[in-house]
Structure 1
């Protein structure tokens, strides 16, 4: 179709011919369709270019937005983590203070067993100025101190082994059998009835339980911190050598055995092999 051509003559305004040009006949007969097609192609090209530009711009915006969203998500995760850590710290503080309260309650139970007053925290209160980290450290400090105090109280012979009144104190006294001369009384005598329970005044280990000369039936208990307690003139013992005992546990029954003038408990406190006045440990 392109081989068939038509001559086109370009004429000057004065009528003279200047240029003769041959063009395919199809262009002359279908020039409107070709022009429309060309305009359509141009329009498609322009629209495609606009779309591509917009698409790229949109992708850039999306990338920027995605980056911003990721940053916000990261910040949100950090805030959630900080809040979680804060909650953990608060829970740790609560557990620490609860542990302190529990330890103090155990100490007070042991004090009550000894017939002593409870330990109470006084003159406390006011706003808390420390940060959470400081409070945790403070809580740990008090927890260690209370455990140390509890261990000391466990091995310290506090309170009375029997509620009877003192009939013979610690120190020098007249000989109760001859009523003449003086002798050293190395403990205190507590009046009671035969069969009354006699309780250990501290946690420890039984080193002797049986009959021993002037003591009669006696129980000897070794405690921490160099302490030892002795419960003499018993009618019978309730523990055996090597047995572990707790404060307030019955170790024997009050009696009148050995060098005794009547039913009573002879009670001794020994520290580092030196006998001391038990009355000093009756009240805290």
Structure 2
């Protein structure tokens, strides 16, 4: 059928022939059917392409959606686990804070026995908040309380001003010069070498620094709660009257001045002018 052809002449606008081509006669006879077939085929191809693209896009969206759903489910499970752990943590935190409260109460009792003021909150009041605890605020509260305890401890003469061996304790002893009779020893003697640093056992204010009779060179420091410490027989003082000193600050150098049989530190602790046994304060 396609072998039978018809000549088609293409002419110019003036009517002169330009080109002569051979076209199968069947196409010319049934050109409408052929045209509709081509158009139909193109429509099928276009719709097929659109369907394919939409199907693939839908699968990609479904995959992304499923991934997001699975991620949200995993986050939800993690939130449930975290919530359970937080509940456990809250209970543990409550127990920990109760332990701190009990410890502060015990510290207060010990401080009262030593004639110290208990840790308390002054000028307080207001409504009590009900419901869940604010752990941040509660932690800040205990931080302030512990800083308060730390500040009070700095004002109590705790520890040793020199790490030497105790050679003479507080109380009555034999006279070290005559080796006869008894005399009251109002502090403790710590053996050392001349020039060893002597450190303050609590922060306070220097009330005397210089030479004072049997004490020799001595430093006297006034602390809170009526406490006073004295560091005697020094070879030299390192502070001046009226000076503020901190815990561990060097106040003088060990020596053997005044009524002394050899290099040592004579250390006294007083409260409200009553002399106490310093060894009670060597450990907390």
TM-score where L is the length of structure 2: 0.53
Output the CA distance in 2 between the equivalents of 1:199 and 1:140.
33
Secondary structure of 1:208's partner?
A: strand
CA apart distance, 1:143:
2.2
Aligned to 1:268: 268
Q: Which residue of 2 aligns with 1:202?
A: 202
Q: Does residue 232 of structure 2 align to residue 232 of structure 1?
A: yes
Root-mean-square deviation (CA), in Å? 2.0
Residue by residue over 1:9-60, the C-alpha shift from the partner in whole angstroms, topping out at 9 and shown as x without a partner, is xxxxxxxxxxxxxxxxxxxxxxxxxxxxxxxxxxxxxxxxxxxxxxxxxxxx
Partner Cα distance (2:260, 2:267) in 1: 13
Aligned mates of 1:187, 1:131 — CA distance in 2: 55
Structure-2 residue corresponding to 1:211:
211
In the alignment, the residues of structure 2 paired with residue 249 and residue 131 of structure 1 have an alpha-carbon distance, to the nearest angstrom, of 48
Question: What secondary structure sits across from 1:253 in the alignment?
Answer: strand
Task: Report 1:1-284 matches (<5 A).
Answer: 133-284=133-284
Indicate the SS of the match to 2:143.
helix
Structure-2 separation of matches of 1:131 and 1:162:
53
SS of the counterpart of 1:149?
Answer: helix
Show CA shifts across 1:137-185 (max 9, x none).
Answer: 4224312321220121110111110010000001110111111111110
Structure 2 spans left out of the alignment, 5+ residues: 1-129
SS at match of 2:270: strand
What are the Cα deviations for residues 213-253 of structure 1, in whole angstroms up to 9, with x where unaligned?
01000000011121110000000100000011111111000
- TM superposition shift of 1:134: 3.6
C-alpha change, 1:131 and 1:161, in structure 2 (3 Å) is: farther
SS of corresponding position for 1:207: strand
Residue 160 of structure 1 aligns to a residue whose secondary structure is coil
Give TM-score, length-normalised by structure 1.
0.53
Closer, same or farther in 2 for the Cα pair 1:137/1:165, shift >3 Å? same
- Gaps of at least 5 residues in structure 1 are 1-129
Stretches (4+) displaced over 6 A: none
1:78-118 CA distance string (max 9 Å, x none)? xxxxxxxxxxxxxxxxxxxxxxxxxxxxxxxxxxxxxxxxx
Secondary structure at the residue paired with 2:235? Answer: strand
In 2, Cα distance between equivalents of 1:260 and 1:131: 67
- Aligned equivalents of 2:181 and 2:131: distance in 1? 69
The DSSP-based 3-state class of the residue aligned with 1:153 is helix
Q: Distance in 2 between matches of 1:229 and 1:181?
A: 28
Determine helix, strand or coil for the equivalent of 1:150. helix
